[in-house]
Structure 1
């Protein structure tokens, strides 16, 4: 007969769809996360090159250009060779890329009579060169020619500024820039005259008064870009950061294997650039390093979803099993009630019928009514006792019993009930008495003996009961030669409403017998265990605390 459908159904397609969806989401998440991470690394390769350029070149250069050089202005043209030596030593110490400093003591005089452009006469009273410790100058003549050119260029800037200087308004916002002269490889600076000096220069430029002159200081700083200390602050992105000329064109490279970029340098370093390169395999290690935490988070989310799915599936499975157990319980319990009720109904109908009954028939129907009523009462008592045990609403009534008499009484009862049932027992000699609840222990004996008879082949209905002592426990061993219990069912047989599916258990069981035994034994602070082999028999071991 086909088993009817229950409310809870296992839908394998739905489970597979859920697993597929979650796994597909995991894969898509990993792929998207990896691509975003790779993109992020490439963007950082492009953006963070500016950090390297700033800390290696731009910041030190700006510090020299905007701060250190400007200190010359504080001397107001009174800088001498000794002070200049001290000042240049600090420059060489703090800025390794400065290779030489030329110091000019400058005289500003009225324009010569032959000058038709009204330019001031800007001349060098003395020129001194300073080098880092351990350096020697090898070409003094070439240096002198260059030095003269630097002075002429600064003189032109000074004259141009003074010619346009508005004595009524004072200096403009572009004043400092007018006293710098920046060219590839060097920076010249003339200390900025005060406003009064600028007015005097303006008047001197126009009056041609001879014999008047003013002192200025000028320095030219020679910068060697190859002495710049390149700081690769992002070694995870760049394997190589080198200084190249602006005109440098790298040889043909495979951009699928190598990624490159560059940053142009400012001011006196404008003829050079920083060149960045890294093999893509190197960047892959950085991608994997950044991707790993993201992947771990994605896997954790995946694991959480799988755990939730498993918990839902387990809950549905438990509900399904419980529903089936309850369904079977109702069916079997109804059958257990229906059979004696039907018999009682038939016997009652015969008793109240119109036909005259003999004394033998009357006694027969009375016996039937009594037996069926006992069955109903036993079933109800078992359910009631089970409920009381679960709710801990009964107490143990300990009585001292004679063990052999107790066991022999149940064996004699079942021999009368089942004449073909072979029952025997053995008790260790030292066991005479035992304090226990006779009702509870009797229920255990009754259920285990009943099961041994019920689940045995007709020609092998045998049970042997052995009672022994082990430490401070008394052991009741029930060994039969029944049909046995499959190994995968051993963990389930003590569950409430659980029934083994076999030819001996189609009807007449509600799955409470062994569950009831376990509750009884546990309530008496003992334990019950089972060993079994299919078609060879089972061995139930009941262990209880021994008190005589």
Structure 2
């Protein structure tokens, strides 16, 4: 019988085509991933500038929303000294403020000769403050007494007082329109009067003979945008960020760099943030982000190749298994054909017409009996092979009297090996349910090993049996040659042999592997602790059974 040559045929063209397909897919995936990453970085270059802008102008917003309104808390009673202290805190926390003007304002009757305008609001004194060596330099400055900022704020305050509804608080919109004046590089602020103060001001601004005056405070902050600290929160995108005038537009824009900008707001509205990055800088960032994506794509590729190799290897294994099965069937068929042919010939002779002598009949009978035994032996081998392959052997649990069971094996080994010192101890257990044949095989192998792997004069074995929770533990402790720690995990592997003088002949490395298989088959565990030239202890743990 010949095996079919086309079964499990290796198609290298199909394998090559598959590898080419996934390789081309890999290249396409890498190209698409790189392009998408480059597009994503380009989009971020255009959008992340808002985050840089927000972080850069955050001190300005803190100054505008938190520090400036503190002036109102003085309720118009700031003087040159307190204004100087306040300016010092401003210069310390907000370096972009380069100068502070403090207007000491008085409000009274418009008909009074002491007032400089018909609105009833005039400047009594103007103080100018500048930072100098960690301190504040301040002096009177009459130049600013009638400047445009003061006139605009006086007009706003006068209009507000004339129409103010003192039954409610002013809205935020009213506060911003009246008490703030924001122009490029400059912020003017007038302290917000209380409602009762507004009622008084309304009466003062009416024509009358009252000569009372009330104080208000106005501060003007002159700013320098170039003193803002640029906080580049995305250096991977923006190589350089500078503050430039809105009209800034360099003529020497090179083609190997990217540029974008974002306008500042408020008093810095005449400036912008100018972002510059070279193409090499952005390419480096694209590569940095692409690397993990490329690694994932390559990992998928190698995973597919590995799967392909495993499938290919599995087909090869199937081919080998098929060949083994074929050879097995072929050999058994050959073994069957020989006795069958002999039986056929003997049977033909027996049923023939010729007369047979007694000697011939016995001869043919012997042939039939021998060939039948061969067939029976072959059938038993085939059955045993099937049982081992399918693990169809069952554990026959019986009640075992441990005292008699252990003593029987000890007596047998004492007769077999007179120099073998054996002893045992059984703690708190008398009966045990298990398969006596399988357990006996474990005992026999471990006791044989204890004798074989011990020096002459030290052939001793102590067997201790004790219950432990729902298990029973058999401990076989000898005083043999022991084994190194690194070898203790391998002694239960098939065909593993420890190289020593006791293993030169008569060992193929199956004894302990057979014990482990038996113990596992009985739902138990086996372990070993050993020390060189001291001895070994094999511990078998089995369920007590019922």
Report the TM range for the smaller structure's normalisation: 0.5 to 0.7
Aligned to 1:193: 193
Q: CA deviation at 1:48?
A: 2.1
Aligned to 2:501: 471
Q: Given that residues 389 and 523 in structure 1 are in contact (C-alpha distance below 8 angstroms), is that contact kept between their aligned partners in structure 2?
A: no
Aligned to 1:422: none
CA distance in 1, matches of 2:132, 2:224: 15
Aligned to 1:158: 157
Cα distance change, pair 135–247 in 1 and its aligned pair in 2 (3 A): farther
Cα distance change, pair 293–170 in 1 and its aligned pair in 2 (3 A): closer
Aligned to 1:543: none
1:334-345 equivalence runs, <5 A: 334-345=333-344
Q: CA deviation at 1:379?
A: 5.1
TM-score by length of 2: 0.64
Aligned to 2:396: none
Q: Given that residues 110 and 208 in structure 1 are in contact (C-alpha distance below 8 angstroms), is that contact kept between their aligned partners in structure 2?
A: yes
Aligned to 2:226: 226
User: When the two structures are aligned, how many residues end up with a matched partner?
Assistant: 408
Asked if 1:284 corresponds to 2:314, the answer is no
CA distance in 1, matches of 2:49, 2:372: 96
Cα distance change, pair 12–143 in 1 and its aligned pair in 2 (3 A): farther
Cα distance change, pair 143–311 in 1 and its aligned pair in 2 (3 A): farther
Q: Given that residues 77 and 216 in structure 1 are in contact (C-alpha distance below 8 angstroms), is that contact kept between their aligned partners in structure 2?
A: yes
CA RMSD, 1 decimal: 4.2
Aligned to 2:246: 246
Aligned to 2:31: 31
Aligned to 1:508: none
Cα distance change, pair 261–141 in 1 and its aligned pair in 2 (3 A): farther
Aligned to 1:86: 85
Highest CA radius of gyration, 1 or 2?
1
Q: Given that residues 102 and 147 in structure 1 are in contact (C-alpha distance below 8 angstroms), is that contact kept between their aligned partners in structure 2?
A: no
CA distance in 2, matches of 1:61, 1:524: 85
Aligned to 1:214: 214
1:103-502 equivalence runs, <5 A: 103-112=102-111, 119-134=118-133, 144-145=143-144, 148-166=147-165, 171-177=170-176, 178-207=178-207, 209=209, 211-254=211-254, 257-355=256-354, 376=375, 471-473=501-503
Structure 1 counterpart SS, 2:181: strand
Structure 2 counterpart SS, 1:110: coil
CA distance in 1, matches of 2:361, 2:173: 135
CA distance in 2, matches of 1:142, 1:81: 12
The runs of 5 or more residues in structure 1 that have no matched partner are 401-434, 436-469, 477-519, 527-548
Q: Given that residues 112 and 211 in structure 2 are in contact (C-alpha distance below 8 angstroms), is that contact kept between their aligned partners in structure 1?
A: no
CA distance in 2, matches of 1:136, 1:223: 18
Structure 2 counterpart SS, 1:231: coil
CA distance in 2, matches of 1:174, 1:67: 17
Aligned to 2:53: 53
Cα distance change, pair 270–392 in 1 and its aligned pair in 2 (3 A): closer
CA distance in 2, matches of 1:370, 1:182: 123
Deviation digits for residues 477-530 of structure 1 (CA, Å, limit 9, x no counterpart): xxxxxxxxxxxxxxxxxxxxxxxxxxxxxxxxxxxxxxxxxxx9555789xxxx
CA distance in 2, matches of 1:62, 1:350: 120
Q: Given that residues 190 and 219 in structure 2 are in contact (C-alpha distance below 8 angstroms), is that contact kept between their aligned partners in structure 1?
A: yes
Aligned to 1:72: 71
Q: Given that residues 119 and 159 in structure 1 are in contact (C-alpha distance below 8 angstroms), is that contact kept between their aligned partners in structure 2?
A: no
Q: CA deviation at 1:181?
A: 1.0
CA distance in 2, matches of 1:314, 1:7: 15
Q: CA deviation at 1:67?
A: 1.1
